[in-house]
Structure 1
Amino acid sequence: MGSCVIVQWSFVVLLWLQIATVTSDVSVQNLRESLEGPFGVIRHRTANPAGKAAARRHIIAKFEEYGLDVTVQNFNGSSGDTDKPGTNVIGVKRGKMNGTSDDRIVAVGAHYDTVATSPGVDDDGSGMAAMLEMARVMTSCSQQNYTIIFVAFDNEEVPIIPSHASERPCDIGRGADDFVCSWLLPFLNSTGRPAEFQGIFMLETIMNYDIRPNVQNLPLGFQIFFPTLYQELQATNFIGNFITLIRKPEEERLVASLEQTWEDRAKKPVGAITRDVRVPLTADYRGTMQQCYHSSCDNVTSITTDKLTFLAKVTDSILQTTMKLAEVEKDTCTDTTGDADTTGVTSAARDFHGAWSIIQLLSVHVWIWSILQYSCAVHII
């Protein structure tokens, strides 16, 4: 995604992870195959329309294979903007409360398009690979109370006119905006009384991991606005070993659930720091992504064992949190991995520390704020 200054106040949670053992149904091999396959080539409407179309067909095919209710959502940008028509792919796994106002819907999203100059393996092939793997595992479970929505967004890399984003948030031609305005709100109101929307996990550039000294850069003014956090990063020689959650204050419960999952899955306590911040964010502040963000070197050669292992860890943690929120009955799940490489999450993760990633948590109560915030700020740093 392109960078954009955050104009709203939000909370940041930093999690330092000490991973000892991991029990996971997440397949490292599946993640690798996604990154080296449909999400390893440029997926841009003019630079490689065939690659983008192939990725979209792959998403649709996987959603259908996993038994999700699939919607292909075509949308158009507003007149006068530089955006173009786009296509979201939405997959729904309905819970027992589906179709009633007692449903408590949770969603997971990532974008499948890229800029014209980059294959976008990390931005955002990593988010797409994680989401598809989550969908695979969750659809092996036959019973859950609440509905889960998976969304592959299009046109998230399309530039927008800032004034249009603030004045006409439902008509700026990005996939997340049209999903909220044209699909999600009608879906929530389909029973006459709105169902509850617990939130959405936005996955963006979640394979960016680097523990070399002085690889973590920071936005201008960070030291002034967040002196304590800056000192903590300085004390660790600015290594890229932490994960960041950006959220609204009312998403505290979602963050708490994710933090607890991280503790449970990592088998060690997770240290968390919460900050109230206003800061510009992009995905180009760490390691090789400082050079490869929106560039040709964000490609399959950037995949390493450590990065892939961390991607599996993030995928597992969001997976388990989403299953908890949807109240999935785990005794109805079937292990369908067939992948001996799943144990690699355990062996490769010993003494592994994590990475700075951003997962944005949004609620329908502030949906206008949400779609603006998603368009501007869901980036991994």
Structure 2
Amino acid sequence: MNLKGVLILTELLTLLGTLMARVALDFTNVTAPEHVRALEEFTISAFLAVPSTSTFHLKMNQYAMQGMSHLVNSSMLRSGLSGGTEVSMFNVMTDQQDLTFPSINESQLRAKLSSLDEEQFELMKQVFSGNYTDTFTIAPSDTDFEQSLQVMYALRTRWSTDPAPDPKVDPLELEKVPKEVEQNLEAMTEGEAVAETGRTFHTAAAPLHVAPEHLRHMMDTVFTVGRNHETSPLDKSSVVLYITQKFDSLGLMVVDHVFSAAEYIFWFDQPLQGVNIIGILAGETWGTADDKPIILGAHMDTVPGTPGFDDNGSGLAALVEAARVLATSGCSFRHSIFFVAFDLEELGTQGSAMFVKDYLTGSIMDKFGITEITGAFVVDCIANWDPTPGSQDFPPTWAAYLPDNARSIESHNFTGDFTGILYRSQVDGQLANTLSRYYNDLGHDHYRLEMMGLQELGAEMPNATVLKNHFDFIRSDHVRFWYLNDTNNTPSMPAVLITDMGPYRGRMRQCYHQACDDAETGFSNLGLVTKVTQALVWTLADLAKGRCGPRGRLSVPTLFALLGSTSRQSLDQKMPIASIQDAMEILHFLGLLPPVETQPT
């Protein structure tokens, strides 16, 4: 195995180790090239595969209860309850009956493990019974490689392929938050009145415009604390509460998607719980097969020991601000927009996997008959803008697959002054190009854009060699939309990653996943965050087919031209002002005149 192969396989095994805690893997005795390739394929498929049936709760606010009554009714019918039980959003799932994994009989096991001798088979029987509690080591050599590989695949595919059950649904009781969480959040946000923030930062004559001071406020306070479930559970719970309250105050359908994959029982002896926070701005086609949802996502969690200012407090701030601006814009949208704070990204993108598999696909698309989504925008690290020459690294792997970007960055003296949009050229071009158009039209060219289109990744799941070579490009939540290697063969969904390239720029070379990724020693210039957020707002509003104004006369591109820097000649449609009254109504919408009915005659 060459050095690059060793390093990539080591990285994959490290990620896989978070999923296989009760099994130790030792591949040091495997040297045959064909066996090394087989191991690479196993580790990659194991990382991307989600063959288990997860169990999950949905904690919904009143708007979500009404908008997703199909899930509420199913939950009541299954449980035999006349109404949802009152459960705090912070309750830990402890009902082991709900979390047990499916049984497997001896004949099924023999079919999976046909080449094992009786001693090995008896061990596997005990392991698959669920009663085996010891850690055991799989240490294949070239002589017994096929048997060991068979066991490893069996351990990954022993879960049921039956459709996931409908989730349990409970009301989201925000008034029943633990006192310590509420007090911690109040101290964290310096007394911010969360219930009023829906319009606190609204600026007259600037609909669909972000507020830089709101972004700064969030990043300097609530999004610069550790959000790790093991080392900072109180701060993480406070951030969950903050985002949930924000979404609720905006009138969104709010769902706290509390998940625990069934395989965690086997690997960890206990459920590893996470919570995705979902806010939905329902479009005109909500609840029908005509809806083509759009997702904006950012991961919420951090690794131990880091406040996560850039990774990924910056993405969370963009997420919450985009939700605020779009929800209070006064515009209507044909398609629904989902705002999602993903959990457990740092543990193998588990939150986005469960969101795509269980909630988006299983609870929304399948139930409403939706066959496609418009796409997903994933924001992961966007605060690190560094205009110093030599501040930007562009590793050989990136240069090999993105040669145009390598030349561009070299021509700019390796300056970390850009946002990167990472996408598959054959699949995600519409998303990337729409975002690029709005980003560039905003001006402020010292915050550049690099379009990073990958040619070799398409809609179909690539083979292990291609995925291994592209491993640097699939290490955030967008990969769960690209390749959710599920037993139900979920098709690829369009998605792009928006990033400052994390550890490859400026101070994040030293501070990535470290304590110095914080606000105090962090980033004074948040212009990149502001520009990315503004471009996302216009892009989401356009792709959702937004119409603005008192009579819905203004398309989003037209409104952008009025308030942005696009020339009037470039508009596809002229602004439809049919009368003086129409013009006055539009000026009222922009905040420049009082309502028409109050004008003197």
Q: Deviations over 1:272-293 (max 9, x none)?
A: 5645263625621100001000
Q: Which residue of 2 aligns with 1:219?
A: 395
2-structure distance, mates of 1:26, 1:41: 23
SS in 1 for 2:279: strand
Q: Which residue of 1 aligns with 2:540?
A: 322
SS in 2 for 1:46: coil
Does residue 256 of structure 1 match 2:433? Answer: yes
Q: Which residue of 2 aligns with 1:276?
A: 455
Q: Which residue of 1 aligns with 2:129?
A: none
The answer on whether the counterparts of 1:219 and 1:279 sit within 8 Å (CA) in structure 2 is no
The answer on whether the counterparts of 1:141 and 1:328 sit within 8 Å (CA) in structure 2 is no
**Identical columns (%):** 29
Q: Deviations over 1:193-214 (max 9, x none)?
A: 2253011100000112111111
2-structure distance, mates of 1:190, 1:320: 29
Aligned residues: 304
Q: Which has the larger radius of gyration?
A: 2
Extract unaligned runs of 5+ from structure 2: 1-10, 16-42, 46-205, 457-469, 474-500, 552-563, 565-601
Distance of aligned partners of 1:64 and 1:24 in 2 relative to their CA distance in 1, 3 Å threshold: closer
Compute the displacement of 1:151 (Å). Answer: 0.5
Amino acid at match of 2:520: T
Pairs within 5 Å for 1:117-196: 117-142=305-330, 143-158=332-347, 160=348, 174-185=350-361, 186-191=363-368, 193-196=369-372
2-structure distance, mates of 1:116, 1:189: 37
Compute the displacement of 1:94 (Å). Answer: 0.4
Distance of aligned partners of 1:265 and 1:144 in 2 relative to their CA distance in 1, 3 Å threshold: same
Q: Which residue of 1 aligns with 2:289?
A: 101
Distance of aligned partners of 1:271 and 1:288 in 2 relative to their CA distance in 1, 3 Å threshold: closer
SS in 1 for 2:385: coil
1-structure distance, mates of 2:303, 2:344: 9
The answer on whether the counterparts of 1:219 and 1:280 sit within 8 Å (CA) in structure 2 is no
2-structure distance, mates of 1:176, 1:272: 24
Pairs within 5 Å for 1:303-314: 303-306=522-525, 308-314=526-532
Q: Which residue of 2 aligns with 1:373?
A: none
Does residue 76 of structure 1 match 2:283? Answer: no
Amino acid at match of 1:294: H
Q: Return the match for 1:243 from 419, 423, 432.
A: 419
The answer on whether the counterparts of 2:422 and 2:453 sit within 8 Å (CA) in structure 1 is no
The answer on whether the counterparts of 1:74 and 1:88 sit within 8 Å (CA) in structure 2 is yes
2-structure distance, mates of 1:296, 1:103: 43
Does residue 210 of structure 1 match 2:386? Answer: yes
1-structure distance, mates of 2:401, 2:283: 43
Instruction: Return the structure number with greater relative CO, CA threshold 8 A, min gap 6.
Output: 1
TM-score under structure 1 length normalisation: 0.73
2-structure distance, mates of 1:187, 1:115: 31
2-structure distance, mates of 1:156, 1:226: 25
Higher helix share: 2
1-structure distance, mates of 2:378, 2:250: 21
2-structure distance, mates of 1:245, 1:56: 27
The answer on whether the counterparts of 1:69 and 1:91 sit within 8 Å (CA) in structure 2 is yes
Q: Which residue of 1 aligns with 2:519?
A: 300
1-structure distance, mates of 2:412, 2:522: 24
Q: Return the match for 1:198 from 365, 374, 390.
A: 374
The answer on whether the counterparts of 2:419 and 2:528 sit within 8 Å (CA) in structure 1 is no
The answer on whether the counterparts of 2:389 and 2:414 sit within 8 Å (CA) in structure 1 is yes
Q: Return the match for 1:111 from 299, 322, 340.
A: 299
SS in 2 for 1:300: coil
Compute the displacement of 1:32 (Å). Answer: 1.1
The answer on whether the counterparts of 1:70 and 1:90 sit within 8 Å (CA) in structure 2 is yes
Compute the displacement of 1:28 (Å). Answer: 1.1
Extract unaligned runs of 5+ from structure 1: 9-21, 161-172, 334-345, 347-381
Compute the displacement of 1:110 (Å). Answer: 0.5
2-structure distance, mates of 1:64, 1:24: 19
Q: Return the match for 2:230 from 46, 51, 62.
A: 46
Distance of aligned partners of 1:328 and 1:114 in 2 relative to their CA distance in 1, 3 Å threshold: same
SS in 1 for 2:256: strand
Q: Which residue of 2 aligns with 1:89?
A: 277
SS in 1 for 2:428: helix
Amino acid at match of 2:259: F
Amino acid at match of 1:157: E
Superposed CA RMSD in Å reads 2.9
Q: Which residue of 1 aligns with 2:442?
A: 265
Runs of 4+ residues over 6 Å off in structure 1: 3-8, 267-271
Q: Deviations over 1:272-326 (max 9, x none)?
A: 56452636256211000010000000001244442x1111010000111001011
Amino acid at match of 1:69: M
Distance of aligned partners of 1:26 and 1:81 in 2 relative to their CA distance in 1, 3 Å threshold: farther
1-structure distance, mates of 2:281, 2:272: 29
2-structure distance, mates of 1:176, 1:66: 23
Distance of aligned partners of 1:286 and 1:330 in 2 relative to their CA distance in 1, 3 Å threshold: same
Distance of aligned partners of 1:102 and 1:309 in 2 relative to their CA distance in 1, 3 Å threshold: same
2-structure distance, mates of 1:315, 1:232: 24
1-structure distance, mates of 2:417, 2:207: 21
